Amino acid sequence: MTTAFIFPGQGSQAVGMGRALADAHPAAARVFAEVDDALGQPLSRLMFDGPEAELTLTSNAQPALMAVSLAALRVLEAEAGLDLRSGASYLAGHSLGEYSALAAAGTFSVAEAARLLRLRGDAMQAAVPVGQGAMAALIGVEPEAAAAIAADAAAGEVCDVANDNGGGQVVLSGSAAAVDRAVAIAKARGVKRAVLLAVSAPFHCALMRPAADAMAEALDAAEVADSALPVVANVLARPVDTAGEIVGCLVGQVCGTVRWRESIAWMAGAGVTRFVEVGSGKVLSGLVKRIAPAAATLNVGTPDDVARFIEAAASGA
């Protein structure tokens, strides 16, 4: 069985995430302590106890989700004997999850990834004044049709494809008025569902250019190593492993489309038959089932999930 490990992005956060892992496994608790120290903030307390509104803030949610993913991964290494170099063929992460994947591959330390994600969250939030941007999800639409809707809605403003998630789910992002027009156009063209999303900023569109510039500067100053495993980059939908390629993709990702459908399809085409989602929630596993229905999926975010992973490994599944 050929396995890829995948890491979730924003939207998978929930109050209480990681608590059971930290209580049951010292390896997880050490990751949370490392992130708290790196940020100079008890982020783990916010993750475990809330409040939800504060956890959902982009600058908190991004490093928090990475922390849960890496905590779960360290538990798999400690308890299941996982060695990614021999146990995984590819890694990938959705949006901020790409930083989790890169930390797992040794490109960043956990502390460096936490600091970069805090900066990324702050920069993305600051790039567009509140109320001037928006995002909308189109359900039951092909990517080409969604791109045409975005182009027709722009009318001189920004309306871009932010996420091609697969299974007929495409997210648009841009100027608030343009995204409103896109929703109306989508409904007029018979798209099954078109809804505005409750987000704090228009991620993954051209309006994020100031944030991309900030990340270029931060990544230039960061310690970035070649990855020990190929990481399928959001903006390319193919693997990269050198530090230079990785930095370029992370900068491009801020304004670029998260090509998740193509990324999963590429890995399935390269022989991946099992996708292990590491971290909070099961969003990516649901998307995988729509994109590559023949592939098996497994989630690891709780002690029970760890036990199931160990059982599956013992049975050869």
Token readout for 108 is 């960043």
Instruction: Give dist(CA 71, CA 68) in Å, integer.
Output: 5
Per the annotation, the verdict on 25 as an active-site residue is no
Q: Starting at the edge strand that comes first in sequence, how are the strands of the sheet with 238-240 ordered? A: 238-240, 231-233, 90-93, 3-7, 274-278, 296-300
Catalytic residue among 89, 204, 227, 280: 204
Largest CA distance in the chain: 57
Torsion of CA 37, 240, 97, 227, to 10 degrees: -30
- Tell me if residue 69 is catalytic: no
Q: At what angle do helices 26-39 and 110-127 cross, to 10 degrees?
A: 50
The upper half-sphere exposure of residue 190, i.e. CA atoms within 13 Å in the direction of its Cβ, equals: 2
Closest CA to 131 of 201, 59, 211: 201
- Active-site option among 44, 59, 69, 95: 95
Cβ contact 103:91 at 8 Å: no
Task: Check: CB of residue 60 under 8 Å from CB of residue 43.
Answer: yes
What's the rounded Cα separation, in Å, for the pair 316 and 188?
A: 50
Q: How far is it, in rounded angstroms, from Cα 299 to Cα 302? A: 9
User: What is the chain's alpha carbon radius of gyration, rounded to the nearest angstrom?
Assistant: 19
Which H helix or E strand runs over 93? strand 90-93
Give the residue numbers annotated as catalytic, written as ranges: 95, 204
